[in-house]
Amino acid sequence: MSTSLIILAAGQGTRMNSDLPKVLHKVAGAPLLVHAMRAGAALEPERTVIVTGHGADAVAKAAMDFDPDAQVVLQDEQLGTGHAVAQAREALADVTGDAIVLYGDTPFIQPETLTAMAAARMYSDVVVLGFDAADPGRYGRLITDGQTLTKIVEFKDATETERAITLCNSGVISADAKVLFDLIDAVGNDNAAGEYYLTDIVEIARSRGLSASVVRCDEAETLGVNTRAQLAQAEAAFQSRARAEALENGVNMTAPETVFFGFDTYLGRDSIIEPNVVFGPDVTVESGVEIRAFSHLEGCHVSRGSVVGPYARLRPGAELAEHVKIGNFVEVKNAQIADGAKVNHLSYVGDASIGKATNVGAGVITCNYDGVFKHRTTIGENVFVGSNTMLVAPVTLGDGSMTASGSVITSDVPAEALAVARARQANKPGLARRMFEKLKNLKAKAEKGA
């Protein structure tokens, strides 16, 4: 049975005290909305509909960046969750199968949980995701009769007896898409908030002879983000889980509490991650790689046997082949570095390709930007780039070539050639002594005058 996703992302999130829409605040380098979309993607949805409101254009862009096939609809007025889901009706008018409602500010619903909900739909017309809360607080309560869910009661409308119930509503609901919209049509707004509650569809479904049931998940999965403090809690929860999974999968971290993961970081087994390493989005590290302390990686791929850092930065487009060495205070951006190449000290390699077994000396810079356009540097195999060489792109260094230290290379260097591009040194006997004497006299006069 196919499933479509409806992700509610219209709220302003006033408690965040921010101009940014709530669902665009980030955990592990990705917007909260993307976490929800990523979880739902495990169901291989037929269609994904994002319901936007506040900051609709920015929310739509984030959604489309993650999934270009996602459809975006606008909720002009925020009249409750039932009203929000109703905005997806037209986008799903021609689909068959189920629809599942997720929330853009609830990032930790696990794919296995959604799979369990899809399975529960085989024997229940409406499936609600619930959790047993340690402190139920103001959550809506799930009212059950044996295995049957009879209704959902919002806290503000609940009796004292109902408020004593600890089985709470996550808000995630699944049903046949056409049944879902039919039920929403019957929802009214005769409640304390004057809103159209999605949760009312359970009682309406029961009154029509339809069945409803609950799938339970861990309370941690239902963590919603409404404040900056909760955003920090969500980040901590994500990092804790990511570290535990990495250790379980064979990654060695000497101080895991100091390592920070991106939402999609992949680390191969037997990789070594030293303290204070930060992974941004889209990082793949293969087996047997060593990432040394205080390095920052994002948008890059590091192949097996390579060593990165300490104090290195790999930016988007950095592709390291096997047994590459990137050393201290080296930055690599949009560059491909072949097997066994070394960039060990204080260098910048951007918009470049470096061939096998090439050695890039300390202080080398690929001068890739002319103020308007980016240009590419191509360095062949077995090249020795002398320390403090400036490579003014576009430029090519042939296989087996060499540059003299301190050179400014503005033209291609043929294979096996030595390029020397620096002014001839001239020594002026005694001039240093005379200059120092003159400067010291000027300083003495200045201090006397003061």
DSSP 139: P
pLDDT at residue number 424: 87
Whether 158 and 255 map to the same domain: the answer is: no
What's the whole-number mean pLDDT along residues 335-353? 98
Whether 155 and 266 map to the same domain: the answer is: no
User: Which range scores top for mean pLDDT: 49-53, 158-162, 191-195?
Assistant: 49-53
pLDDT at residue number 26: 97
pLDDT at residue number 195: 87
CB 345 within 8 A of CB 361: yes
Please confirm, yes or no, whether 54 is among the known catalytic residues.
no
CB 332 within 8 A of CB 377: no
Q: Does the structure show a pLDDT above 90 at 12?
A: no
What's the whole-number mean pLDDT along residues 326-334? 98
The last residue of a domain, from among 222, 249, 267: 222
**Spacing of C-alpha 82 from chain mean position:** 30
CB 245 within 8 A of CB 266: no
CB 390 within 8 A of CB 415: no
Helix axes 56-66, 32-41, angle to 10 degrees: 40
Supply the CATH number for residue 25's domain. 3.90.550.10
Whether 199 and 239 map to the same domain: the answer is: no
Whether 86 and 127 map to the same domain: the answer is: yes
Token pair belonging to 127:
């499936």
Q: Does the structure show a pLDDT above 90 at 449?
A: no
Residue 435 lies in a domain: no
pLDDT at residue number 163: 92
The last residue of a domain, from among 187, 222, 257: 222
- Rounded to 5 degrees, what are φ and ψ at 153? -115, 125
Q: What is the radius of gyration, based on Cα positions, of the chain? A: 30
pLDDT at residue number 190: 82
**C-alpha to C-alpha distances, 147 to 16, 119, 124, 330, nearest whole angstrom:** 38, 16, 11, 60
Candidates 35, 54, 345, 375; catalytic one: 345
Whether 259 and 196 map to the same domain: the answer is: no
Token pair belonging to 152:
């959902």
Residue 169 lies in a domain: yes
Q: Report the predicted TM-score, pTM, of the whole model to 2 decimal places.
A: 0.89
Among 17-31, 127-141, 189-203, 429-443, the minimum mean pLDDT is found in: 189-203
Whether 196 and 296 map to the same domain: the answer is: no
Residue 441 lies in a domain: no
Residue 54 lies in a domain: yes
Residue 189 lies in a domain: yes
Q: Does the structure show a pLDDT above 80 at 191?
A: no
Token pair belonging to 430:
């005694």
106-154 pLDDT tens trace: 999 999 999 999 999 999 999 999 999 998 888 999 999 888 999 998 8
Bridge partners (DSSP) of residue 332 are 314, 349
Residue 368 lies in a domain: yes
pLDDT at residue number 328: 97
**Spacing of C-alpha 403 from chain mean position:** 40
Whether 272 and 395 map to the same domain: the answer is: yes
* Residue 78 banded pLDDT, cuts 50, 70, 90: confident
The last residue of a domain, from among 222, 239, 272: 222
Q: How far apart (Å, rounded) are the C-alpha atoms in residues 265 and 299?
A: 10
pLDDT at residue number 271: 98
Q: Does the structure show a pLDDT above 80 at 175?
A: yes
Percent of the chain with pLDDT strictly greater than 90: 89
Q: How far apart (Å, rounded) are the C-alpha atoms in residues 177 and 163?
A: 31
354-378 pLDDT tens trace: 999 999 999 999 999 999 999 999 9
Whether 216 and 251 map to the same domain: the answer is: no
CB 25 within 8 A of CB 59: no
Average pLDDT, the chain: 95
Q: Does the structure show a pLDDT above 90 at 27?
A: yes
Give residue 106's domain range: 3-222
pLDDT at residue number 193: 77
Whether 158 and 109 map to the same domain: the answer is: yes
Whether 210 and 282 map to the same domain: the answer is: no
Residue 153 lies in a domain: yes
Supply the CATH number for residue 345's domain. 2.160.10.10
User: Which range scores top for mean pLDDT: 8-12, 329-333, 419-423?
Assistant: 329-333
Token pair belonging to 373:
């356009």
Q: Tell me the residue length of the chain.
A: 450
Q: Does the structure show a pLDDT above 80 at 1?
A: no
Residue 440 lies in a domain: no
Q: How far apart (Å, rounded) are the C-alpha atoms in residues 34 and 27?
A: 10
What's the whole-number mean pLDDT along residues 276-288? 98
pLDDT at residue number 55: 92
Whether 321 and 172 map to the same domain: the answer is: no
226-245 pLDDT tens trace: 999 999 999 999 999 999 99
What's the whole-number mean pLDDT along residues 309-320? 98
* Residue 277 banded pLDDT, cuts 50, 70, 90: very high
Q: How far apart (Å, rounded) are the C-alpha atoms in residues 348 and 395?
A: 15
pLDDT at residue number 117: 95
Overall number of domains in the chain: 2
Whether 160 and 263 map to the same domain: the answer is: no
